[in-house]
Structure 1
Amino acid sequence: MNWSKAKTVLIITFAILNVLLYLTIAKINKPQPQLLSRQDLRSIEEVLLQNNIVLKTTIPQETEPMPLVKVTREIFDESFVLENFIKSQKYEKYKENRYTIFKFEDKTIKVDGISFYYFEKSDKFKDMSSSQKEEYVQNFINNYHFKEINVQVEKISQGKEVKIKYFQTYKDYFIDGGWMEGKIDDKSFEFSKSWFGSVVMEKAKKEVINAAYALLKLVEIKTDAKPMVVKEIKLGYYFNWSSATKGEAVPVWRITTQDGNRYYINAYTGNFEEGK
């Protein structure tokens, strides 16, 4: 018998039971949300450390009941490209796997119904400053009506490349799978978008699990001995049907590691949804 593994399982089990017991008693005695004590948090961090999982962020504690949300993807098809970009220009069109590809002048557009990609190569980008490149991205978004309101923006400038990322949000929650990105350097400009054109919150709300439970789930998921550094844990929505045009997005805890991997824990059930 592997006593080291058995010991780890017992520690995890007792840690989870202690947190469950604490929250259950708190909920019975007081109607308002309860926070984990420092000792509870230290116990959780110790279990994670014993499994080579290091926290570089605080554990969120306050949560509210959340509903499912109905989402419908924005459609990017041949009609969209012809009406907004090609118009009366000459162009070449062909299929490549799931994509329909359009080539005209020094530009390329790829669509697959639910995602859009644009590429333009030109010497006009050569002498642009970083601020001019950023302005070019913004103008492209505005001119072709890609602009969205509920977004979180991330700007990255590295060398001659400027990249602006937009992540879809709804009532301050992230909607994973809704994003767009503009990237420009001295030779070319690229733009990509995949978005939910409609996000509707359902009426019924359910309690969600504590972030601590989601973090402890990493112990079960982790399969190697390499250190895992957690830089963020955040509550939001996840739609796990990559090719579907509509459906229900579920509340999840999204755990992001320092190397860029993401793990999604269902906030209703505590089940592992996906890691990437």
Structure 2
Amino acid sequence: MDWKRAIWILVVSFFVLNIVLVANLFIKTMPGESFKLEEDQQKALMTYLESRGIKFETQLPDKGVAVPFLEVGRESSDQEKLVEMFFSEGVERVEKIEGGEKFISGRRQLILMESGSVIFEDGEATEEVPELNGERALQIAEKFVKDHGGLPEHAKLNYVRYEPKTGGYVVEYVGNYRGFFVANSYIRLLVTRSGVVRFERNFLKPIGFEGKRRHVIPPLTAVMKVDAERKSNSPTVVKKVEQGFYSQFYNAERWLAAPVWKVELESGEIYYVNAYTGELER
């Protein structure tokens, strides 16, 4: 056994534990502030994470922004109008499914869920796009969204990503409120040479901040939580760490979304760490 290395890891681990305990104490006694790690503390945590095989491709902010909860709700929609938008010529049949309805015409189908989610699949898309690239895919997606309900006020383009299985591009818009992303709130389209073959709209409507501003944990603390929860201990790269809000969809008109740190790894894994408690959102 390499005793020197073992002792070094033990010392660093003890120092890291002390930092976390101090952060938790600060958070409990100073509810209106955001805890900021000192430079030597940040270096110690970075050294510890590097010893665990974790590298960073992004510059982390020194601290987060103290925020309250975000109140969100479901988008209001008119089912008749939605069906007409996608099937102007009419629907062949309607099927009841768990939590919603499926409208079918030929090889096209529209699923409307009680939660407000909309999914459209077009197996008959015949548009011919001779030279499809990311820019052209975005243009096609923008027109489709405009013709089918429009882009919500709080939507922001997230990415245009090549999809090798279909040779098409996935265009995704996400919810954004005052500079903070809103997780699980998105519009996603798959654009191929045949046009838009799949459309998903799962959008939360931000209503406003609710309650008093509260502290948030440092971003490095969130990365440490992710490291502790990872299923694999293999080396990885942290591509992005961003503060925002997270919520599932609930069977209610309004509810509260918690502030989170989103930690995105090179593998494509995304973790949401509650910025108040330091626990993973599942």
Contact 1:78 1:100 in 2 (8 A): no
Identify the match of residue 171 of structure 1 among 175, 178, 197: 178
Could you tell me which amino acid in structure 2 is paired with residue 50 of structure 1? S
* Deviation for aligned residue 1:230: 1.3
Shift of residue 173 of structure 1?
A: 0.4
Partner in structure 2 of residue 122 of structure 1: 125
Q: Partner of 1:138 in structure 2?
A: 142
CA contact (8 A) 1:233 1:256 kept: yes
How many angstroms apart in 2 are the aligned matches of 1:6 and 1:216?
Answer: 20
Q: In 2, distance between residues paired with 1:10 and 1:242? A: 45
TM-score normalised by structure 2 residue count: 0.79
* CA distance in structure 2 between the partners assigned to 1:76 and 1:227 by the alignment: 46
CA distance 1:11–1:142, shift in 2 (3 Å): same
Moved more, 102-111 or 35-44: 35-44
Whether the 8 Å contact between 1:45 and 1:55 is mirrored in structure 2 is no
Counting aligned pairs with the same residue, the percent is 18
Q: 1:39 — aligned with what?
A: 40
Query: In the aligned structure 1, how far is the partner of 2:253 from the partner of 2:14?
Result: 40
Alpha-carbon distance, 1:64 to partner? 2.6
Counterparts of 1:81 and 1:183, CA distance in 2: 19
| Superposed displacement of residue 94, structure 1 | 1.2
* Runs of 5+ unmatched residues, structure 1: none
Change (3 A) 1:186 1:11: same
State yes or no: 1:18 paired with 2:19: yes
Please, which runs of 5 or more residues in structure 2 have no aligned partner?
Answer: none
Stretch of structure 1 that moved more, 214-223 or 257-266: 214-223
**Bigger CA drift: 44-53 or 260-269?**
44-53
* Distance across 2 between alignment mates of 1:18 and 1:7: 17
Measure how far apart 1:19 and its partner are. 6.2
Q: Report the TM-score when normalising by structure 1.
A: 0.81
Aligned-partner SS, 2:187: strand
Residue from 185, 192, 195 that aligns with 2:192: 185
Change (3 A) 1:252 1:133: closer
Aligned 1:78-157 pairs, distance under 5 A: 78-86=79-87, 89-113=90-114, 114-120=116-122, 121-127=124-130, 129-130=132-133, 132-153=136-157, 154-157=159-162
- Structure 1 residue 106 displacement after superposition: 4.6
1:18/1:76 CA distance change after superposition, 3 Å = same
**Residue 260 in 1 paired to residue 265 in 2?**
no
Distance of 2:265 and 2:94 partners within structure 1: 40
Q: Retained in 2: the 8 A contact 1:75–1:115?
A: no
Give, in whole Å, the separation in 2 of the partners of 1:196 and 1:118.
18
Give the CA RMSD over aligned residues.
3.4
CA distance in structure 1 between the aligned counterparts of 2:271 and 2:95, rounded to whole angstroms: 36
Contact preservation (8 Å) 1:61, 1:210: yes
SS of corresponding position for 1:272: coil
Query: Does the C-alpha gap of structure 1 residues 91 and 173 become closer, same or farther in structure 2, counting only changes over 3 Å?
Result: same
Alpha carbons of 1:6 and 1:156: their partners in 2 closer, same or farther (altered >3 Å)?
A: same
Q: Deviations over 1:24-57 (max 9, x none)?
A: 89xx9xx998854443222111211222322222
Bigger Cα displacement from structure 2, 50-59 vs 169-178: 50-59
Off by >6 Å, runs of 4+ in structure 1: 3-7, 22-25, 31-34
Change (3 A) 1:12 1:125: farther
1:65 lines up with 2:66 in the alignment? yes
What secondary structure, in the 3-state scheme, does the structure 1 residue paired with 2:127 have? helix
Q: Is the 8 A contact 2:23 2:217 kept in 1?
A: no
